[in-house]
Structure formats: C-alpha cells, structure tokens
Homo-oligomer: A and B are copies of this chain.
Amino acid sequence: MAAAERMVVIGGDATGMSAAAQARRLKGPGELEIVAFERGRFSSYSACGIPYWVGGQVTERDSLVARSPEEHRSRGIDLRMRTEAVELDVPGQRVRVTEQEGTERWVGYDQLVLATGAVPVRPPLPGIDAEGVHGVQTLDDGQRLLDALERGHLPHGVRGRVESGGASPRRAVVVGAGYIGVEMAEAFVRRGYQVTVLEKAEQPMSTLDPDMGELVHEAMCSMDIETVLGASVTEVRTDERGRACAVATQDAEYPADVVVLGLGVRPATELAREAGLPLGESGGLLTDLAMRVRGQDNIWAGGDCVEVLNLVSGRPQHVPLGTHANKHGQVIGANIGGGYATFPGVVGTAVSKVCDLEIARTGLLEAQAAAVGLRFTSVVIESTTRAGYYPGTRPIHVKMLAERRSGRLLGVQIVGRENAGKRVDIAAVALHAGMTVEQMTSLDLGYAPPFSPVWDPVLIAARKAAAAVREG
C-alpha cells in the first residue's frame, strides 16, 4: 500500500482549517495526512467578531472560536499552534517552520495550502508601534486590546484627572473610517468612550460613493462620533512612559487613551513572494478558479492572502472577507480531497453597521465603473424598510448604477437603518445573473407590511434606474 499523501496547511484560520476539514471529510488518514501550522494561539476564529467583543455584545472570547485546536486534532488534523512557516522551498516541496521554543525544521508536502491571511496596514509614522496603539486583525490583537482596556492604562495626565474625581470620559482615537474603523468606533461608544475617527479621505467608508458616504458621515456625527475628514495622521505622540497619548494630524492633535488602527489590511504573502509565486497588484496571490496558485500543480491558496476575480469589473481584486475565506477553504479541500469545486469570483458585496446605521454595497462604485471603461447612469432613492404605516419602519437610501444602453446592473449601495443592509443580497444575486435594471423591476420579492413597502426599495431604485437608462 502506498504511503499517505501529506497535505500541509499554512495558517489555522478560516481558509486553512476549512480546507483541512473538507479534505479530511473526503479522505481518511490512511490516504491523506494533514498537518497545519498556525503562528498564533487560536484556530478557526471569527476576526469579524472582534469589534463586538471589544464593544461588549460578545462576552466570551471562546464564542468567537468556531473550532479549537483540540477539536481539529480530534478530527485527524495535526494542527501545530504557535508554529510559523518561515521559508517555502517550492522545487523541494518543503516548508521550513519555527516552533515556539525555537526549534526549526523542514516539513515536506505533497499538497500545500497557503492561507496566511492579511496584516493590518501600519504606516511608518513616529510612535505607531507605541504601547496603546492597537490593530484588531487577530484574536491575539483583540485580547491585547481588551487586556489594555481592562488594566486601564491611561496616560499620566488623564490618570491624574480621573483620580481627582473628574468625570471626563476616556478617549479613543480610531485611525481610518472604513469597515473596521466604524465598527471599532461603535465598540468604543458602547464602552462609554469619547470617540474620534480620523480619516484621510473626504468621506468615511470609501467603499461607498461620496454622496452615500456623506449620509454615513451625517449619521456618525449624530451619534456623537467625532469624525474628522481629510485628516492626515503625522504622528502618534507618546508620554514619558512611552505610551500613546495623542494622535497628531497635519493641523491638530487628538488626545487619546487608546488608539486603534483601522487602515485596512494587505495580503500576508512574504513567504510566497520570496518563493517566487505569482502575486497581483495588491500583493495577493494569483490563483485559478479551483484556487490553485497559477502555474503550480500542488500549491493552493485562498482567503485574505489571494486576489479574486471581480465578476462585474472583470479585474482581480483583494477582498479580505471571512465569507470568501470560508468558501475558498471548502473549494481547496474539495479539490485536494478528490472532489471538484471552483470559486468563480465575487461581485463585491459587503455589509456593516455603525450603531443602528446599516451600510451595504455590491458591484462597482462610480469611480470603479469608470476606471474599467464602463459608462453608466446612477440614481438614488429614499424609501422605508417596512410599509410606511408599520411601526418600526425606518429610512433607507438606495443608490443604483446601471450600464448605459444595455441597462445591465453595475452596483448598488445602501445606507439606512434597521433591516436596510441585507437587501443588498437582492442586487448581489442580480449581479451574478447579469440582470438588467429593467428585468429587476419585475422581480417577485417578498412583500408584507412588516417586511417591506409594497414596492421594495430595491424595486423603486430599479424602476428609476430603468427610466434613466431609457432616457439615455
């Protein structure tokens, strides 16, 4: 009997462990040995849940862990925690790993899965690495932030004020007003902090067009989240003990008891780059539809370390989202396990919230559409989430982009209150199907007064967009 093949997985979160679990379902230990390396202390956790853990909606760290190392091991996956892959030898089909205690060794593979994720963008500014400046990318990051908040490490001056009985709230400065930034802003509002968000662009949520971003800006202001736009951070100031105490921009200084970086992430692909594997413009690995690294027979990659095809723009793109990472893992595991699966691409869907404001988008923004040569018409409508007379009905704005002439849907953006955000799924499916906005006007969507106005807001937008297309 032939020796079992060995599948080596680098990265113990969504993609890596989904791939391992799916492959294990299809092939037993006699056929396939599975070894996985994770440099952190946690496996298969929800990084997307960290803002809600910091905000207190989630009280148990372990509830963010979908499957612990022990559970993986009990399913026949040899998961080695706190073990880092430091070199990849593609011709030799082996990976060099460093264990926690410093031991180094080479591990050979027949099939390799690169699931190394992403790292937060940390601009090289003075003070950026000081104590009190936090990323929130990994569960370890979240734990460090919560430990710091609970220890109550405050800069000297503030501590003095608190000790003298002053009621000044603590101050959080969040750098960046993207998804992570606004979610962390909400978390600190919930903790009673005075929150300032510093954003370099002229709008929060640059995943939206400026007009829709302005709606988010207005809402954040009404939530007492100080949102400073056009703010270029120049330095994190530190106190005499070396702890962050303020964030300076080109023209102001914002005192801070805690600083959180929400500047987005970039693919963690140093290992792959050094091994000569193909990377895209964002630095993400390039794969085929089966999630195999281009040009490689037995190296697979998925999750936050790859680029995916945007089916609307036709361009590869870095889209670090847990939902894609899980799908990639399933696809890789199915293929290594002898099955067949593909990941055709994304349409650019994302949904988030800040306090009770829901923010969603799918497809292309105006600038993205223009950048790939598309001409389009766009409309914005305002409606309600339920029938106008039904209690709890809330406002919703829907922006819709359609290609000129063809009328093909190109994108939808939604800003509204409760029950607004997930309506983006209607447009996401329509994008996958290549529908025109005219076709969308006759979609048979669920209607009853507690769920929707008799014309769902997406239908209202489609009607207006279809009329705009007809008018040329």
Q: Chain A interface (Cβ within 8 Å of chain B)?
A: 14, 46, 48-49, 52, 57-58, 60, 63-64, 179, 321-324, 326-327, 330, 342-344, 346-353, 360, 362, 387-391, 419, 421-426, 428-433, 435, 439, 441-452, 454-456, 463
Contact of A362 among B327, B446, B454 (CB under 8 A): B446
CA distance A421 to B57 in the complex (A): 24
Which 9 pairs of residues, A with B, have the shortest CB-CB distance?
A433-B433, A351-B446, A323-B447, A429-B429, A63-B389, A349-B444, A346-B444, A347-B444, A424-B446
B390 touches A442 (CB 8 A): no
B327 touches A442 (CB 8 A): yes
A444 touches B428 (CB 8 A): yes
CA distance A430 to B427 in the complex (A): 11
| Known A-B contacts A46-B449, A351-B448, A352-B448; A455 and B421 likewise in contact (beta carbons under 8 Å) | no
CA distance A360 to B324 in the complex (A): 27
B322 touches A447 (CB 8 A): yes
B contact residues around A350 at 8 Å (CB)? 446-448
B426 touches A14 (CB 8 A): no
A454 touches B351 (CB 8 A): no
B422 touches A451 (CB 8 A): yes
B contact residues around A14 at 8 Å (CB)? 454
B419 touches A422 (CB 8 A): yes
CA distance A139 to B390 in the complex (A): 16
A52 touches B450 (CB 8 A): yes
CA distance A389 to B58 in the complex (A): 6
CA distance A20 to B391 in the complex (A): 30
B contact residues around A342 at 8 Å (CB)? 442
| Known A-B contacts A426-B429, A448-B353; A389 and B46 likewise in contact (beta carbons under 8 Å) | yes
A389 touches B49 (CB 8 A): yes
B433 touches A445 (CB 8 A): no
A57 touches B323 (CB 8 A): no
Other A-B contacts than A419-B422, A428-B444, A430-B433, 13 sampled, CB-CB below 8 A, are A46-B387, A57-B391, A58-B390, A60-B389, A63-B389, A350-B447, A351-B447, A422-B423, A425-B425, A429-B435, A432-B433, A432-B444, A433-B433
Query: How far apart are A289's CB and chain B's nearest CB, in angstroms?
Result: 10
A349 touches B445 (CB 8 A): yes
Query: How far apart are A61's CB and chain B's nearest CB, in angstroms?
Result: 10
CA distance A431 to B387 in the complex (A): 25
| Known A-B contacts A454-B322, A454-B326; A63 and B446 likewise in contact (beta carbons under 8 Å) | no
B contact residues around A390 at 8 Å (CB)? 49, 52, 57-58
B contact residues around A64 at 8 Å (CB)? 389
Across the interface, name the chain B residue whose C-beta is closest to A427.
Answer: B429
B422 touches A452 (CB 8 A): yes
25 pairs, CB–CB < 8 Å, chain A vs chain B: A46-B454, A49-B389, A49-B449, A52-B390, A57-B391, A58-B389, A58-B390, A64-B389, A321-B447, A323-B455, A343-B442, A344-B442, A349-B446, A353-B451, A360-B446, A362-B444, A422-B422, A422-B451, A423-B425, A425-B445, A428-B443, A429-B429, A429-B445, A430-B433, A432-B435
